[in-house]
Chain A
Amino acid sequence: MRVVIACRVIQAELDEMRAGNPEIEVIYLDQALHRTPGKMPGLIQEQIDKVSGYADQIVLGYGLCSNGLVGVRAARQMLIAPRAHDCIALLMGSCAAYNARFAERPGTHYLSRGWLAEQKDPLGVTEGEYTERVGRESAIWVMGEELKHYTHITLIRSGIIEAKLVERARRNAEFFGKQYDEITGSMDYFQKIVGGPYDEADFVTIPPGTAITQEPWVPG
């Protein structure tokens, strides 16, 4: 049995690729854990320990996510993780695709159906969590500060996306005064996360009992 432990932000894409295959189990954790990366390893470790008794192989549906994977280990299985830094590379299909886009225009805030559906987009975070914390006026200012140097909000289209989510993506750009555009995503990474192969360009393989470190992602 292959077990995938993944972020809910890519649930729609992974479910589509898994296509009900009973040989593959996928466990989803709350998205936006990367915003408090210090808590991530413990939450992921908990899930690894739960499936450790029966999984032959454990694949993480996460990027390095602000070091949110650092310290995680599987006692008796190979642990496989995308070489991506975040889910944006996953949505684009490869690390190479992400690197090319990033070099071309670093000032892009990307959105996907997962981010929009769970309202973890800038608008959702502002109106929800941030308004609760500091009130609406300050919340808008705070998110404006976070996005200050971004010029674009770009929707990555992957699979079928509801019209109201596309509209929401547009509204984010409008509200925060950014240019809006769209790119077509790729299912390649999701296909590989669920079914392999785990090629070295896009995946890191960690031997049993070894904790994940930052090095494979950030070579010094």
Chain B
Amino acid sequence: MSEIIEQIKSIVVAGKHKEIEKIVKAGLDANIDPGAIINDGLIAAMDIVGKKFGSGEIYVPEMLVAAATMKKGLEIIKPLLTGDASQPKGTILMGTVKGDLHDIGKNLVIMMLEGAGFKVVDLGVDLSVDKVVEKVREIKPDLLGLSALLTTTMPEMQKVIVMIREQGLRDSVKIMVGGAPVDSRFAEKIGADGYGKDAADAVQLAKKLIGIN
């Protein structure tokens, strides 16, 4: 049983997207818990991928191919989750700030959050402050995740947080920030609740901020 999970993990890490469907189905046929396939197989694999990316061992291509492999696996399993496992652990609003069109990192975080059982609403890229605030008001998420790849657009994160505060919404939503040029010092400076250094870290942070294990 754990052998299949190990295989799923290594197939995702290697980005062998053509092989994932078969091995996931083999896992399900062997009655492995779908939740375990997600957590110990797919998510655990992306955790490894994130660390390899962080250390420079791999770059964007390997990471994206691995993510696509994970996504394929996730799509097979998701409909099979039942009971508690199928109930969202919380709602998270995610988006890339104004002027920034980059979403590879954000999309990876979304995939991992969904894998971890959160309901995620993706607002897309190049989001005006007003748009984000409007959506926070409308959707009432537990958590808002803001992303930026460019150092030119990082200040937009602060503008969003300031506006959310001014609109009296700050106490009703937690805010996490991330993206290559962002760090915990910046997150603290602009008044965010936390900073995720990679997708796996963002999932841990989301769990902590929302208050689940």
Contact B61 A85 (CB under 8 A): no
Contact A106 B61 (CB under 8 A): no
Across the interface, which residues of B come within 8 angstroms of A133, CB to CB?
58-59, 61-62
| Chain B 140-171 interface residues, beta-carbon cutoff 8 Å to A | 150-152, 154-155, 158
Contact A66 B180 (CB under 8 A): yes
Contact A134 B101 (CB under 8 A): no
* Distance in angstroms between the alpha carbons of A5 and B201 in the assembled complex: 36
Contact B59 A35 (CB under 8 A): yes
* Distance in angstroms between the alpha carbons of A146 and B64 in the assembled complex: 10
Q: How far is the CB of A106 from chain B (nearest CB, A)?
A: 5
Contact B155 A220 (CB under 8 A): yes
Closest residue of chain A to B191 (Cβ to Cβ) is A220
- Number of A interface residues at 8 Å Cβ cutoff, please give it: 31
Contact B155 A142 (CB under 8 A): no
Closest residue of chain A to B189 (Cβ to Cβ) is A220
The contact string, 1 if C-beta is below 8 Å from chain B, for chain A 132-145, is 01100011011001
Across the interface, which residues of B come within 8 angstroms of A146, CB to CB?
60, 104
* In-complex Cβ contact of A67 among B56, B151, B155 (8 A): B151
Q: How far is the CB of A44 from chain B (nearest CB, A)?
A: 17
* Distance in angstroms between the alpha carbons of A103 and B98 in the assembled complex: 10
Across the interface, which residues of A come within 8 angstroms of B151, CB to CB?
64, 66-67, 85, 214, 217-218
Residue B99 is within 8 A (CB to CB) of chain A in the complex: yes
Across the interface, which residues of A come within 8 angstroms of B59, CB to CB?
35-36, 129, 133
Contact B101 A38 (CB under 8 A): no
Contact B104 A149 (CB under 8 A): no
Residue B65 is within 8 A (CB to CB) of chain A in the complex: yes
Residue A37 is within 8 A (CB to CB) of chain B in the complex: yes
Contact A214 B126 (CB under 8 A): no
Residue B100 is within 8 A (CB to CB) of chain A in the complex: yes
Closest residue of chain A to B124 (Cβ to Cβ) is A149
Across the interface, which residues of A come within 8 angstroms of B99, CB to CB?
102-103, 106
Contact A220 B61 (CB under 8 A): no
Across the interface, which residues of A come within 8 angstroms of B181, CB to CB?
66-67, 214, 218
Across the interface, which residues of B come within 8 angstroms of A145, CB to CB?
64, 104
* In-complex Cβ contact of A138 among B61, B101, B152, B186 (8 A): B61
Contact B56 A39 (CB under 8 A): yes
Across the interface, which residues of B come within 8 angstroms of A139, CB to CB?
61
Residue B28 is within 8 A (CB to CB) of chain A in the complex: no
Closest residue of chain A to B59 (Cβ to Cβ) is A133
Contact A149 B126 (CB under 8 A): yes
Across the interface, which residues of A come within 8 angstroms of B46, CB to CB?
none
* Distance in angstroms between the alpha carbons of A210 and B183 in the assembled complex: 20
What are the 3 A-B residue pairs with the smallest beta carbon separation, nearest first?
A149-B101, A134-B61, A142-B61
For the complex with contacts A66-B180, A142-B64, 9 further pairs of A-B residues with Cβ separation under 8 Å are A67-B181, A85-B152, A129-B61, A134-B62, A139-B61, A146-B104, A149-B125, A149-B126, A220-B189
A and B contact pairs by CB, cutoff 8 A, 13 listed: A35-B59, A66-B181, A85-B151, A85-B152, A106-B99, A107-B101, A133-B59, A133-B61, A138-B65, A142-B60, A142-B64, A149-B102, A220-B158
